[in-house]
Structure 1
């Protein structure tokens, strides 16, 4: 496994903490939370870029900014819309089509071979995710707009991720992600002021937001950019199904969930899918 693919795995590991930290910041409006988290991640990233003397790398063409800010903000806006219009469990299951779509889009958009082993691995991973996230799921007709939003965010993130490595966008340096995060924070702040009531965070919420900005809504996007541009998107797409499993296990360890046989079986299925995909050649 290349170092770039390992960087992408680092992003997946950080995203496993998203649910726990979001739970700890409960009470803050979602768009306000998005604005605050991305502001922390963007400012920290900007400080690192400045310390390296590479602020000039933030000057990128419009297509790079449209892709970067559009991908980060578009995914989160559609995800929150989905949770507002549809049951959370079902919307989250549909959202987790994005790893499968990353694998499938790698062929037409990046010219990467899939093969039966990779398809079997991602299929096993999705089955494990469905078992864990979608157990007892129901799809009422009145929630169709929310389900469409969830499907939209899955497509949004998959296209954003895979196109990051296409020739025109692969040349955009990872340092530019700091600017994209700040742009996302600005858009989320505008949307928050337009649609939500501001809530002053307490000490616990502020700490959770800071950790979100440093990890799942900060460093993770820099690592994901490296993984998508120089790593193997097919393997990362398959391994991404470990995120909901790891997230569930972290919630259980933090006393926010219950351990069950379903968690064990889902973990084994996702791990098996990742093993099959990792052994695939080409």
Structure 2
């Protein structure tokens, strides 16, 4: 199989897996609190990452990397997975899956806006217009089709969903300066964040027996959403001859996700969700359009 074909295979597999997580979140949260889901999913994710490193015969790299980068790993692990997923799961606990997953897609635009103060990048007019379009979609979803009335269906849930995009975007911006190998780095993040999650659950009284359905859901979420799928996506990005082609596959995920939400959760898909998601995806596509530069004037000698 050619490298580009492998890249598409890995990329599509990742997108298909990510399309299922909104449904998996909601099903798991029927049996677990957000903190419990984070605890068990993090444990399964760490197990899957260690299995991948073992299969690659790279487990010996962990301890030296931990000694060199424990401060960075603890800091980034505190952001992702600990705080990020705790807030994201809280958003899913409060909102219908269709709304939470649609709002979560604004993280790419949030990263562009956040890069201005964090990395000193310049905001283009195209980015500003894309932001207006995207957040118009957010408002449409959050108010269930009545944006001018400003009556939010669940303001705390919307707040948690948007805060999660800020954390996720910030995490990846600071990750641009990360010297660690990506899979090793992610494994160390989960390794050092797990005690934080365990302590949080102990302090909030959530260390008690839970239903097996919750454990099964957490295993699915941890292995696919947090662990193995990341490695699939990373492999696709390394193999591809065009990063943009693989990156654009992510636009398939929202509609697949809505189909599964309707099929497996029985949520009727609201027109406001479709309109709002259309605006969000439209804004993200607008942001990706190449900027036309003025044609240079060429002077001709007489």
TM-score for both structures, normalised by structure 2: 0.68
Local SS of the residue matching 1:200: coil
Match in the other structure for 2:287 = 277
Match in the other structure for 1:155 = 166
Cα separation, 1, equivalents of 2:281 and 2:171: 25
Question: What RMSD in Å do the two structures reach over aligned CA positions?
Answer: 4.4
Cα separation, 2, equivalents of 1:262 and 1:83: 18
1:29 aligns with 2:42: no
Match in the other structure for 2:298 = none
Match in the other structure for 1:216 = 225
Kindly indicate whether the alpha-carbon contact (under 8 Å) linking 1:122 and 1:273 is maintained by their aligned counterparts in 2.
yes
Match in the other structure for 1:207 = 216
Cα separation, 1, equivalents of 2:281 and 2:103: 20
Deviations 1:180-214 (A, max 9, x none): 12333332122212213423322x43332221112
Match in the other structure for 1:46 = 50
Cα separation, 2, equivalents of 1:125 and 1:148: 16
Match in the other structure for 2:263 = 253
- Distance apart, 1:226 and its partner CA: 8.3
Q: Any residues of structure 2 matched to 1:133-212 within 5 Å, and which?
A: 133-135=142-144, 138=151, 153-166=164-177, 169-197=178-206, 198-202=208-212, 204-212=213-221
* Bigger mean CA deviation after superposition, 8-17 or 38-47: 8-17
Cα separation, 2, equivalents of 1:12 and 1:184: 26
Structure 2: state its 5+ residue gaps.
293-302
Deviations 1:4-61 (A, max 9, x none): 9x98997676444332112222121221211111111111111111221222433241
Kindly indicate whether the alpha-carbon contact (under 8 Å) linking 1:41 and 1:213 is maintained by their aligned counterparts in 2.
yes
Kindly indicate whether the alpha-carbon contact (under 8 Å) linking 2:40 and 2:215 is maintained by their aligned counterparts in 1.
no
Task: Name the count of aligned residue pairs.
Answer: 270
Structure 1: state its 5+ residue gaps.
none
Local SS of the residue matching 2:61: helix
Match in the other structure for 1:63 = 71
- Distance apart, 1:224 and its partner CA: 7.3
1:17 aligns with 2:8: no
Cα separation, 1, equivalents of 2:108 and 2:266: 25
Kindly indicate whether the alpha-carbon contact (under 8 Å) linking 1:71 and 1:156 is maintained by their aligned counterparts in 2.
yes
Kindly indicate whether the alpha-carbon contact (under 8 Å) linking 2:49 and 2:183 is maintained by their aligned counterparts in 1.
no
Q: Any residues of structure 2 matched to 1:114-133 within 5 Å, and which?
A: 114-133=123-142
- CA distance change for structure 1 residues 132 and 153 in 2, over 3 Å: closer, same or farther? closer
Larger radius of gyration: 2
Cα separation, 1, equivalents of 2:141 and 2:40: 30
* Bigger mean CA deviation after superposition, 112-121 or 62-71: 112-121
Cα separation, 1, equivalents of 2:116 and 2:36: 37
Cα separation, 2, equivalents of 1:251 and 1:130: 21
